[in-house]
Structures are given as C-alpha cells and as structure tokens.
Structure 1
Amino acid sequence: MLDEILSQNEIDALLSALSSGEMDAEELKQEEHEKKVRVYDFKRALRFSKDQIRSIGRIHENYARLLTTFLSGQLRTYVNISVASVDQVPYEEFIRSVPSMTFLNIFHVKPLQGRVIMEVNPNIAYSMLDRILGGSGSSMNKIANLTEIESMILTQLFEKTSDNLREAWSALVDMEPELEDFEVNPQFVQMASPNDTVVVVTFDTAIGEASGMINLCIPHIVLEPVIPKLSAHYQLQTAPTQPDQRVYEKLAANIERTEVEVKVVLGETDISIQQFLDVQKADVITLDNTIDEPLIMMLNDEPKFYAQPGLSKRKLSVQIMEEIKGGKQIR
C-alpha cells in the first residue's frame, strides 16, 4: 500500500515509464512483497493520532476566540489570536525552542494530573503591560529588570485567563485551571522528563501594533485520561441533538453584565501648545459645536447617538435624540 496518494501527473509518469521499459512491473511487485523497514525515532514518540491532534486544534481554536474577547475587554485595544500550529514534540525540544528569558505561566489543571505551561513572548507581554498601565500598547524588552509590581500585574492578568481555558475544555472535561507559578527562565521549569511527549499549541497573537507568539505546552500525562474523548467518533456520539437553552441563557446573562464606557462629547477644538500654556482662569475656549447642535454620545469611543444636554433630579444628564446609523455622517 502506498503511504501517500499519487497525483495524476505522477500516475501518468509511472505508466509512461512502464510502457517504455524504464521500469519493470515484476521488480515493482517483488519490492512490494519485500518487508520494508521504517525508521522510528524513540526520542520523538508519536503518542497522539492525527485525529486527536485535530481535535486538540479545534478545542484551542475556541480557546483563541475566548482569549481574544477577554483580552480585548481587559486591554481596550485591538487583539487578534489564532491557532498557528499544533505539534507533538519531546519536552526537551519545546524547552530549547523558547527564548532564554520569556514569560512562563504554569497552570495546575485539576482534576487532571500534571501541569500546563503558557509561554508568552515578551513582545506581547510588555504590550499588555503598557496598555494596563495606560499606555498606547508599545512593546519593549526589559524582562531581566522586571519589577515586583510589573510581575504582579501580569500575573493577575494571566490568572484571569484560566476561565477561558476551562470553558474551552468544558465539552470534554470539567477542569479547574489555577495559576501555580510564574517564571521568566525556562531552565527553572521542569515539569516532564526530556523525552516525554508534549503537545505544543502555537498561537499567532497581535495586540495593537505588537505581534508575537503564545505557546501552550500540554504534557501527555495531562491529556492521557481524556485521549479516548479526543476522537471524532466520540464527539459525534456525545454531540447534543438540539441547542441547550441553558447555554443561551448563560450567554445572554454574561452579555447583560458586560460594562461599556459611555461619554458625551461637548465639543472639540484645536489649539497650539503655546496657547495651552497661556491659558488662565476665566479664559474662554471656543468649541466647534454651536449651541443648537446636538452632542455626540460615544460607546467605547464609537459614536452611537445624538443627544441634548439637560438636568434630571438636579444632575447633569443627556436625552437621546437619534441613533447614528452606520456610515451616516456626523454633524
């Protein structure tokens, strides 16, 4: 049996060689009956089938979507995360592939055995840190001089991502991921023997103008109890025949609790730095809005409504007049 399917051009070339006498059909038959030896590298033992690797990939495609939504809300900037590859490699090969100084988040995934490593490229991690601290999301590389406050901020952010991992795996197993440790040097992380097989899921990540990789390393010991559930046959058997109403209710409840920033723009103007420095008490700055024009109500910095100012129970308020449709020119 051929290990791979021949293309039509290859089939035509094979038939042409047989008809011209360049190849002997009897020799081909003889080779087919001979025992063939395939080289097997015991250091790169393949313990997961292609079907199981595809299932792991699908789980983490969902995880990438959940992580994108979560980080977009936390950082209030453009975030895009997608699965780049899913590979099974020896643990030693994974450790050698990561930078000598990087961000390593170690999760304990109860009730499963073992631990999972989330390796975050410094370029991405510092962009996150800059956004949390009120910056534009620019990146830098000073990982060797990471302060305790910076470490704590990043640890708290990565700790919150455990909910996304639990939700992504909820169809197969009820796990409770918990951030156990935070390291910057991979040499201090020894969670498997060098030749143990691990699954490495690599995510292409873009946060604002910064881009890089996030790697999720899952040892075989973690996945061993759920390997039978990773087959497509099992997932087809256990797939619900109709939508679960509880899922929709939970989703609706989560959306209703989502907070959005609402602000009303009274007006805008441009002045020079010198004019700004010369501003004194009782000076008047003229805005571009006239007194009879409506104000713009912004939701997460997006114009959504026209409004007019007023008072409600002795508090400054606005009354919504009209929705700003997509593509409509703002007055």
Structure 2
Amino acid sequence: MGSGTDKPGKDKTLKQDEIDALFQAAQGQSPQVSAGQPAPAADAPAVPKRRVQPYSFSRAGQISNDQMRAISLLNDIFARNLTHYLSVWLRSPFQVTLVSAEQIPFNEFIARIPALSYVCSVRLEPLRAISVLQLEMAPAPTIIDLLLGGQGAAGQLRELTDIEEAILSSVIEIICRELSAAWEPVGLSFHYEQRQMQTQIAHLMPVSEKTLCLNFEVKLEAASGLMNLAFPAVVSNTILHRMVGDWTRQRSHNPEIRARLRRSLGQTKVGAALQLPAFRVPARQIEEMAMPSLLRFPMSATVRPQMRIAGVPLYEAMPVRYGEHRGAQLGERKA
C-alpha cells in the first residue's frame, strides 16, 4: 500500500499487526501484540476515540431543568396571589401551595383523576389550546358553604347539584383570572369553558401526548385536597424558552441593584390591623340593639386577637399601650 510519490528511504507500507492495532484503537480496545512480533510503530497515525451514547426517543421534547425552575417560580407567584385573594373573598383561611411540576403522558394524568372529582376545560389564548383543570371534591363543600354564608364546615363527598356546580364554577373563574395574571409575562391568558364528565376528558387531547402537569395543594380549616392542571405539549414547545430567558435575565441583577431594591421595599407601607377573628352575629340581635346595650361575641374570652398584614393573619397578639401610643405585643406566628 505504498505511494508512488514517497521519497526514497521512507517506507509507508503498514504491516498486518499495525493494521490490526489501528482497528483495535478505533474500537476503543488496547492494541494486542502477538508474542515474537514487534510493537506497532510509534509514528503510526493516532485515531481519535469517540464516546457513543444511546439516544432515547422517549425524552424528545423533554423540559429542561432551567425551564422547570422557571415554571415553578411562576406558579409560586400564582399560588401566593390566589391564597391572598380567596382568603379575603371567602373570609376564611385559605392556602394554595405548589407541590410539584412534572411532564407526563396525558393518559397517566387521566389515570390519576379520582372517580369523584371536578374536572373542567380551560382555553389558552392566543394559542387556542385546551388545558385540563382538576379539583378534588374534598374542599368543594367547604368552599360552597362559605360562599352561602355558612361556617365552612366539611361536607359529605358526593356529586354536586346544579346550583352547587354554578357556585363552584365562579371559584374556577377566579382561578383562571389569577393564572392569567401570573402567566402574563409569557403572553398566555386562561378562560374557563365548561365542566367535563369523566367520559369526555380523553377527547380533550391525544392520550399519548406529553403534558406539563402542575400539582397544587388546597387547604382550608375544615378540608384539604389537590388541584391539578395539565397543559398540552404546544405550550412547552412555543413559550417555555421565552420563560427561561425572561426569568434568567431577572435573576441576573447585580448586588448593588438588589440592595437598592431592598432599601426601597423597606420604606413601603402596607396595611396592618390588630383584630379579633371574624365571627357572625344574628341580624335579629343587631336589629334589637339600643343605647346602652351589650353585644356578646360568640367566642371565648381566651381567644387572642390577630395581627393582620395586608389582610393576612401573621401573628397572635395582645393590645398594649406604649406611652401615649397604642401597640401590639406579638406572640406566636401563625402557620
């Protein structure tokens, strides 16, 4: 295998053992030297080693860790906003917490839905895509009872009546509105469509489609449950890259800017109040009030007032006097 243009004295012909050594090096093996044979020539051309990894087609379109962190941050904001709004609207402690964000096939999402559950379709604009919102039925009786003027007692798990379903749909519309506010940076708005029966859920999107599933925990005083939201693949394919870019830039503030923002926020004034927990008084008792009269509160004398910041109860407290000023002695922080 010599070349006709080689210079005299330079033999470029490879021997069989040198050819074998080259093939072994290309396959990532150590060259084998037979007994009684000379080692391969030191000036033999080096073959670069290549590391081959198997490719999994099931991971195609998988959301990256940066995207998942951006999604969690965005929906933490949604959970806090919804907690504050519904606590004020229901006049009762209400807490929403993001539990997890994962990517699963739609048929797996359907398999997790309990037989007794509230499921509805939500339209995403401007993508004209359909997402699925599912709420466990355990918190529903408590929410409905609060909206009807009750104490928010837990009820028996059962199918909703038409009136109860209409009441609960108003809560779903508020959830969609808060989702739209939180997802505004990525240009998405959420619009409640209608409740879906169990037999209709599988027709909302292909069962094999990989969905982005967000899991939230909903807590009230008398009940708790999960709220799940499934997005179609078109959402992750079209807007998640913008989400990562936006939030990455927001996190890249230098220390001086962060310190200046912290000083500015430290001077911001927020509403605060020291008050007793909310209670209900019969309208007849108020109608019969006259001066002087005594109005008895339906609570024990040992109940301590609450220190509320922006309408959210943060501490148990006692009213005190400091010179000519009134004040509050803070106690335990409320969970």
User: If the length of structure 2 is used for normalisation, what is the TM-score?
Assistant: 0.60
Give the % identical residues.
Answer: 22
What does 1:279-318 correspond to in 2, within 5 Å? none
Cα distance change of structure 1 residues 62 and 218 upon mapping to structure 2, 3 Å threshold: same
Q: Which runs of 5 or more structure 2 residues have no equivalent in the other structure?
A: 1-27, 31-48, 282-289, 298-304
**Which position in structure 1 is the counterpart of 2:137?**
122
1:65 matched residue in structure 2? 80
Amino acid paired to 1:93: E
CA shift digits 1:240-298 (9 cap, x unpaired): 9679x9xx9xxx9xx88x9x9x99x9xx9xxxxxxxxxxxxx9x997799xxxxxxx99
Query: 1:162 and 1:117 mapped to 2: Cα distance?
Result: 11
The amino acid that maps onto 2:170 is Q
Offset at 1:323?
3.8
Q: Is the 1:46–1:88 Cα contact (8 Å) retained in structure 2?
A: no
Pairwise CA distance, 1:198: 0.6
Match of 1:188 in 2: 200
In the alignment, which residue of structure 2 is the partner of 1:26?
none
SS in 1 for 2:116: coil
Shift of residue 33 of structure 1?
A: 6.9
SS in 2 for 1:161: helix
- Give the distance between the partners of 1:303 and 1:327, measured in 2 at CA: 4
Larger of the two Rg values belongs to structure? 2
Which residue of the partner structure matches residue 328 of structure 2? Answer: 325
Q: 1:219 aligns with which of 232, 238, 241?
A: 232
SS at the partner of 2:328? coil
**In 1: Cα distance, 2:130 partner to 2:252 partner:** 30
Provide the residue aligned with 1:96 in structure 2: 111
**Matched residue type, 2:176:** S
Question: Which residue in the other structure is 1:153 paired with?
Answer: 167
Q: CA deviation at 1:128?
A: 1.1
User: What does 1:173-212 correspond to in 2, within 5 Å?
Assistant: 173=187, 175-183=188-196, 185-189=197-201, 190-212=203-225
Are the aligned partners of 2:116 and 2:136 in contact in 1 as well (CA < 8 Å)?
Answer: no
Higher helix proportion (structure 1 or 2)? 1
- Point out where structure 1 has 5 or more consecutive residues left out of the alignment: 1-28, 269-281, 290-296, 307-320
Residue identity opposite 1:186 in structure 2: Q
Aligned residues: 249
Q: Is residue 87 of structure 2 the alignment partner of residue 87 of structure 1?
A: no
Question: Which one has more relative contact order, counting CA pairs under 8 Å at least 6 apart?
Answer: 1
1:171 aligns with 2:185: yes
1:38 Cα offset (Å):
5.8
SS of structure 1 residue aligned to 2:205: coil
After superposition, the Cα gap between the structure-2 partners of 1:78 and 1:38, relative to the gap in structure 1 and judged at 3 Å, is same
Q: Which residue of 1 aligns with 2:247?
A: 235
Cα deviation, residue 83, structure 1: 1.2
Tell me the distance in 1 between the aligned counterparts of 2:295 and 2:85. 37
Contact 1:60 1:83 in 2 (8 A): yes
Letter in 2 for 1:159: E
